[in-house]
Each structure stands twice: as structure tokens, then as C-alpha cells.
Structure 1
């Protein structure tokens, strides 16, 4: 491991990387206030406008693990700077767009920059002293959730009181600022896997398999889950990912080391990450709708987009507060208890939401609790991963874990979407909207998934057992070593 940086330098690194993750998350949520208006803005159909959201998910799914591996090969700082380039260009393209095709292109470019968070987490392992590593990792890991929660009200305010193009010009400026901060505050450390080759066939195979899977999951409700297109994409995903896995196990320098990924400690952490992703996104999808549905429904709260975002913003603040506390818990007890506790807190937040969903303050309180749990869980997952993989695979392994979280949010969106689409009521004028029972069912599902995540996390092997059983090939963070066996 490289020599830790001085304390002042370390503070600049952590702050820069946390801001980078926050900006990346803002890129994903800034389009939310415009979703209903996109068909009019871009003079297109609602179905085509939906690709403005979907394309970012697809591109990010492919680019996150690839950029992680490239970070191990050519240097994490260099790849962080590379990630800012499509963020800037994509934002400018979107700001200048007047039709759907350039907007889709711009949003795809923004998706290419989403690898900054796993790259930043991996870089922390190289430069931050062991006693500060857990808290730093927790903050940078949680920055995706923090940016999503805080970015929504800001985006809503800009969209409501200024031109929608200002959102994208602003995101371009933010990406440029992050590039400058990375250039001056983030040190250039040697690449852990320098000299190894990049697995291009593996990258192509993973891209085909992931795009097919994510597209089927995200668009299945629109196309029909039993339609030829959806089933065909699922089939392509299964076959392609199967062939890809076979190839990755037999190539000397794979894109993703599946033998490492298959270790129980890594495998179960990634499984819990998918479930936590579902649990987090279910509330993010349900709460804004409840806040904005008309009061005439009897359960809607009649809030504007801006007001709804402001009611949800304290959740993002709580995640920011909890992250360093989660780091202290990881130092004291290890990341496994932190992950179990985080999942249980998410479940408790959903439990609170069921009796409190009839008021805006009740949803705010539930959101604060859910986001506190997410902050704990998001800090623990990369700590578990980094304690289980060699230094030469840190960025790639974190990229794969980030992909698992994203897969969870995609699955959560699809499941909650189906529930709300099936459980509806019809208002005057023939308008059909989700029913109160639909929202309650969605919240109950979120609670159940969070409890399942806690159960999976509870059976993750300790660091000592994992090292004895798998021949641990890289140094674990000091906090995890101290907590081995817990």
C-alpha cells in the first residue's frame, strides 16, 4: 500500500471525492423534475422521452465496471479525470438539445461518468491512513445517495423558476469544478495492476449481457413482461452472461475476477447490495408520488415538485451525518455489523412510513430513518469488499459492487412500478392512478426486502474465516483486521 498522505492533504482528497460522487448522483436526478414535460420540450412521444432516463442507466451499468478495471490498470486519478470529460460534454449536449435524439446522446454521455464513486472509494485505500479509512469510505460511498436526495429539490427549484436548460449548464460547470479539484487535490498513485492487459472481449460480453438484462428489467412493464421483446432480451442476457462467465474464468487477466467474486464474503456482500438497492429505491419512488398526488384522492398530500423535494431533503442531510458515524462503528465493530444494522434501520423506516404516510412530516421522518440506514449500509459494503480483494483489483471489485447496487435500484423500480400499475383507482374523467393499497403494498415490500438484506448480511463470513478459507491475497483495512471474527 502507498504511504498515507498528510492529514491536511487527506482532508482535501476525501472532500473532493465526496463532492465528485455527489455531483455524479445529481446528474442522475436532475432530469426528474422534467419527466412529465419531456414530451412537450422535445416534441416527442412519452415512450421515446422515457429513453432520456433509461439510457443513463444502461450506459452507467456498462461503464462502471469497465472504468473500475481501467483504474486498476492505468491509475485511478487518471480515470477520475477521464470520467469528468463525458459529464461535461454530455451536459452541454443536453443543454443545447431541442429534440429527443441529442438529449438521449447527452444523457448517455453523462452515464459514462458514473464510475467516479467506485474509483474514488478504491483510491481512498491507497492514500488515507488506516484509522481514517472507514469514515472516509463511508462518506464517499454514501455520496451517491446524498446527491440524489439533495439534488432533487435543487433541480426542482431551477426547473420551476428558471429555464430547464440551466440545469444542464449548471451540471457542466459542476463537472468542470470537480475536474479542477481532482487535478489539484487528488494524488497520482501507481496503478495496482499496471502492466496487465485490458480484457476487451470480456468488456464487450459484459456490455451485451448487462444492456440486455437492464433493458428487459427497466422496460418490461412498458413492453409487457411476456412480450417477445422482453423475453428475448432476458434470453440474450442469460446466454451472454453465461458465456462471459465461462470466458472470464479461463482468461489470465479478466475484466472481473469471478473467483474472487465467488468467495462467500464478496458474493454475499454483493447479494446484500442488490437488496439494499431495492430497499432504498422503493421509498425514493413512492414518497414523492404520495407527496404530490392530489388531496382529493384521500391519501395524496397535494405538494408541488419543489415542496416534495424539500420534504425529502432532510433524508439526504441525515445520510451525510450518519456516514462518519458509520465509519466509527466500522472501526469499532467491523463492517458486517454496520451492514446488518443499516438494513434493519431501513426496515424500521419502512415500518414507520406505513402509519405515518398520511402526512408530509410523517414521510419526512420515515425518509430520515430510511436514509440513515442507507448511509450505514453504503459505508459498510465497500469496506467489506476491500477487505476481501487484493490491491490490484480494488477499483474493479468496487465497480462491480456499485453495479450490484444499481441493479438493485433497477429491480426496485420495476417491482414497485408493477405494483402501482396493477393496484389502481379511477378518478373522475377516467384518470387511473395508483391506489392507497398499492402504495402500502410497495412500502411493505421495501420493508421485507430490507429485512432480507439484513439476513443475508448476517451470514457473511468474518474476515479471519474468509482469509483462512480462500487464501486472502491483499491487505485488509486496519479497521477490518481489528474487527475480524466479529
Structure 2
């Protein structure tokens, strides 16, 4: 399939990796003689602009910051969720849509944005998503009503699609020797952006009016837009084709039905008509969508690529790892914040609890270069196995020791270590197994799989803790057995990710042009 550049002019030759002679020819074309026609000079200037290089460190820093801001949107309101019924004068069951809408929007938009990036330019779609995020932030910042706030949070949730696009931009623009570390860093933003964002959100919500959270998000979005527009190069690869609108609608409807059943099952009742109808309808639509994708000429998601063993097993492992990460994000803050009088909780404030979990995000960030070197030396598959194994150990420690604050911090740091290693390996495995024309779509699908894991974790962990609760004053609180069962489940799911990673083929036939260039990085 032909590859082009974002801003290539009609009639321009298709750019490819230049040889020495081609580079010399480009240099000659970039400086036309005095007899050149005006159109030739214009095309020469355009080629020079497209081939102008940026400092790779600047590009990496901008895209990593963009990914961190996108991840922050997912966790932005977590510290004030219990206060929303009072702040908005709304029913507690209704205010849960503030979280649900964000998760749904992120899950639905991410694979669609990836495909749009492959077709129309990845940087261009990143900028569109940033604009949508800023609009959502402003909507949320200017309202004290439930429905507009839900709409604003849904618009903020679309920012999740920035992360796979950023990874794909790195693949298109960086030299091979810098690619591993950069991909590891941006991939890890999905974890450390949320972990670092928790104390930031807690501080803002405690110190200022809660609307300041959304004004801060809007300001960060403006900064991201300016940085991406001015510092990220436009010469990212794309492929010609048509956007599969029916496929996008089918995926959106199917995912919405399925995720609604998973995320609202605790509120609606798992055997309720609403849950069953939503879940079954979503599954039926997704099955029909899959059949359609196999027949359409330019599918939203190439399922023939998605079922390749390396891609399929990595994506399934992503679901399990997303569950393991978010399971700790749900259970550990509750354990820290529950009153000590319950006999289970550690009696910490929201701010202190957020600071206790922040080191996990710092570990994920600093693990990025370590993970890149480990992937290059030992292979992405082994790094995924080791990362999952560390998370298994982390949950084993949690199940045995969670009565002191330092034990919770230790568990959180260990989980951050494992997630940092595993999340760095997954994009490498994916990009070694997909064609260059589908880099963003494949990374978008992988991010969607992580989102499915996090959404499932929120529902399942909530169900376990609710089912193992005892009365405390006017409310119910989870028991020690409930938390221990949650940790055992998290470890079991992490163990599943290890088994899936072990099943990934050590060697697999590659496409003529795989998404990840050959170089020092190994997949096995």
C-alpha cells in the first residue's frame, strides 16, 4: 500500500526512506537555480519544509507530555467523586455517569482516531483531539449541572486517543536507535499520567473551587496544542484510502453497549433487564461489525492483522494488565482513606492517599529507558513476561501485608515497576507484527484493549468490595477479606497476562514493510 506524507502536494512523488543519491537530489531540488519556474520553487520549499528535522529529544518530550495530559483526563475527578452528589445536587447513581462517560468516550474514540491518523495524518488528528478536549474542559468548567458536566467529561475522554497516535508519530519520525526508549516513555504515560495526576487533582480540589480542575485541564490542553503544532514534525506517514464510517458507527454502538453493561452492572444489577439487554446487544453488534470488517475493502480495523498470534495475544495480555493496573487504582485508595475505626482502613486524607500512590507513576516514568534497553537486549516478549510476573508478586505482597501505609506504598511502587516494563513492551510487539500502513490503528486497538481491562476492573473490584462489606454508621465499608480477595484476583489476572505473553510466538513471518523498522530492538 502506498505511503504518503501529511502535507504532500498532488503530483509530488511518494516519499520513501531516501538513499544517498535521493538525498542529494532532494538537496538540489530544495535549492533551484535562478531559471526555475515559480511552481518549482514552491514545491522545493514545500519539500524542504517536509524534510526539515527536529531535535528528537524535543519531539519525544512533547509527545510524552501530551500523553501524560491525555491520561490525566481519565483520573481528573477521582478525588472529588464522592462529593459530586452534594456539589451538583444530584442522585449518587446519576453522578457515576461523570466517570462512565469518560471511559466510554475514550474506549470508542481511540481505535477510530487511530484509523483516521493512518488515513489523514497522525499529527493532524492529535490536534483535533486536543481541541475537543479543551472544549470539553471549558464546558465542564462553566457548569454546575450534571448533564453538561457529563458532556464535558465525555469530550475530555476522547483525549485517550492521543497516546497511540503519539506512539505512531514516534515510529514515523525518529531514528531507530531512539525509538525504543521513546515508545516506552509515551506508552507508560497511560499509567504514570494518572498516578501523578491524582495528587495534583487532590491538591487543586482541596485548595480551590472544584471548577479550577477543569480550567487547569483546559490550560494544559492549550499548551499541548501549541507544543504539538510548533514542535512535532508534519512528515508522518499515512496511507490513502477511505474512512469506514459504517464500521466506526458499528464499533461505537457495540462497544457502548458492552461497556455500559460492564461499567453500570453494579448500579443496575447484573441480572437486570438493562444490563442484560445492553450487554447482549453490544455483543451482537460487535459480531455483525466483525463480519462486516472482513468484507469491506478499507476496514476500520483489519481483523486479519488483529488475529495474527503476536497481535492477538499481546492485545489479550493488554486487557489483563489494564485490569491489574486499575484494580490497584480502585482498591488501594479506598484502603488508605477508610477510617481507622473500621478496623480495616488506614485513616488517611485524600491528599495523603494520592501522595502515597504517586511514587508508582514516578517509577513508571523512570522505567521507560530501562525498559527500552531491556527490550533491545532481551526482547519485548520477555519484558512483557517479566513485567506481568512483577505485578503477580506485587499482589501477592498486598494479599499478605496491607495493614501499614508503607506496605501500600511498596505494593504501589512494585506495580508501577511491572506496568512500566510491560507497557513499554506491548507497542513494540504490536508494531513488529503489523504493516506500516496500520501503525496508528493497531496501537489504537491495543490502547482500547487496555481500556477494556480498566473498565472491567472498576466494575469487578467494586462488586467484590460491595459484596464483602459490613455496616459502619450510615454506610457500609469493605471487610479485610474483601480487600484480600481483590488482591488475589488482581494477581490471578496478572498471571493470565504472563501465560498469554509466554504464548506469543518467538518468531513470526513479517510484512514486507513492518511498522517498526528493523534495528537493535528484538521481539523475542
TM-score, normalization by structure 1: 0.96
Distance 1:190 1:308, change over 3 A: closer
1:281/1:409 contact within 8 Å kept: yes
Contact 1:315 1:368 (8 Å CA) reproduced: yes
| SS across alignment from 2:438 | helix
**Structure 1 residue 430 displacement after superposition:** 4.7
Q: Secondary structure at the match of 2:55?
A: helix
Within the alignment, does 1:454 sit opposite 2:498 as a pair? yes
Partner of 1:381: 426
Which digits, 9 at most, give the CA deviation of each residue in 1:306-335, with x for residues without a partner? 000001111111111111100111111221
Does the CA-based 8 Å contact 1:292-1:300 persist in structure 2?
Answer: yes
- Could you tell me whether the CA contact under 8 Å between 2:102 and 2:157 is conserved in 1? yes
1:474 aligned to 2:514?
A: yes
Question: For 1:479 and 1:272, how far apart are their aligned partners in 2?
Answer: 25
Listed as ranges, the matches of 1:187-226 within 5 Å are: 187-193=233-239, 195-226=240-271
C-alpha separation in 2, matches of 1:372 and 1:28: 21
Distance in 1 (CA, whole Å) between partners of 2:352 and 2:519 is 41
Correspondence list, 1:359-438, <5 A: 359-427=404-472, 429-438=473-482
* Residue 139 (1) aligns with residue 178 (2): no
Match of 1:291 in 2: 336
2:361 corresponding residue in structure 1: 316
Distance in 1 of aligned mates of 2:237 and 2:369: 28
Q: Does 1:54 align with 2:100?
A: yes
- Point out where structure 1 has 5 or more consecutive residues left out of the alignment: none
Are residue 115 (structure 1) and residue 155 (structure 2) matched?
Answer: no
Larger radius of gyration: 2
Report what 2:80 is aligned to: 34
Distance in 1 between residues matched to 2:369 and 2:166, nearest whole Å: 16
- 1:417-463 CA distance string (max 9 Å, x none): 11101111122x3531111100000001111111110111011012x
Once the two structures are TM-superposed, the CA of residue 478 in structure 1 deviates from its matched residue by 2.9
Provide closer, same or farther for how the CA distance between residues 140 and 235 of structure 1 changes in structure 2, counting only shifts above 3 A. Answer: same
> Could you list the per-position Cα deviations for residues 249-274 of structure 1 after superposition, in whole angstroms to 9, with x for gaps in the alignment?
01110000000001011000000000
Q: How far, CA to CA, are the matches of 1:353 and 1:67 in structure 2?
A: 37
Whether the 8 Å contact between 1:291 and 1:360 is mirrored in structure 2 is yes
* TM-score (norm. length: structure 2): 0.89
Aligned to 1:174: 220
C-alpha distance in 1 between matches for 2:291 and 2:54? 46
Any conservation in 2 of the 1:134–1:479 contact (CA below 8 Å)?
A: no
Name the structure 2 match of 1:240: 285
RMSD of aligned residue pairs (Cα, Å): 1.6
Pairwise CA distance, 1:7 = 8.9
Q: Distance in 2 between matches of 1:5 and 1:286?
A: 49
Matches within 5 A, 1:52-131: 52-131=98-177
What residue in structure 1 maps to residue 11 of structure 2? none
Query: Which stretches of structure 1, 4 residues or more, deviate above 6 A after TM superposition?
Result: 3-8
Offset from partner CA, 1:3-44 (integer Å, 9 cap, x none): 799996111111011101100111111111111111111121
Give the match's secondary structure for 2:504.
coil
**1:267 maps to which residue?**
312
Q: 1:332 to 1:233 in 2, by over 3 A?
A: same
Q: Secondary structure at the residue paired with 2:470?
A: strand
Displacement of 1:472 in angstroms is: 5.7
Distance 1:90 1:216 in 2: 25
Residue in 1 that maps onto 2:40: none
Q: Where is the helix percentage greater, Structure 1 or Structure 2?
A: 1
Aligned residue pairs total 478
The equivalent residue for 2:508 is 465
1:301-340 equivalent positions in 2, closer than 5 A: 301-340=346-385
Could you tell me whether the CA contact under 8 Å between 1:339 and 1:381 is conserved in 2?
A: yes
1:36 to 1:200, Cα distance in 2 relative to 1, 3 A: same
CA contact (8 A) 1:74 1:191 kept: no
Q: Deviations over 1:36-65 (max 9, x none)?
A: 111111121111111111101111111111
**What SS does structure 2 have at the residue aligned with 1:98?**
coil
Alignment of 1:11-30 (within 5 A): 11-30=57-76
Q: In 1, are the aligned partners of 2:54 and 2:233 still within 8 Å (CA)?
A: no
Matched, 1:352 2:397: yes
Deviation string for 1:127-168 (max 9, x for gaps)?
111111111100000011111000001110111111111111
Contact 1:64-1:403 within 8 A present in 2 as well:
yes
Q: Distance in 2 between matches of 1:138 and 1:147?
A: 14
Kindly state the Cα deviation for residue 465 of structure 1 after the two structures are TM-superposed.
2.6
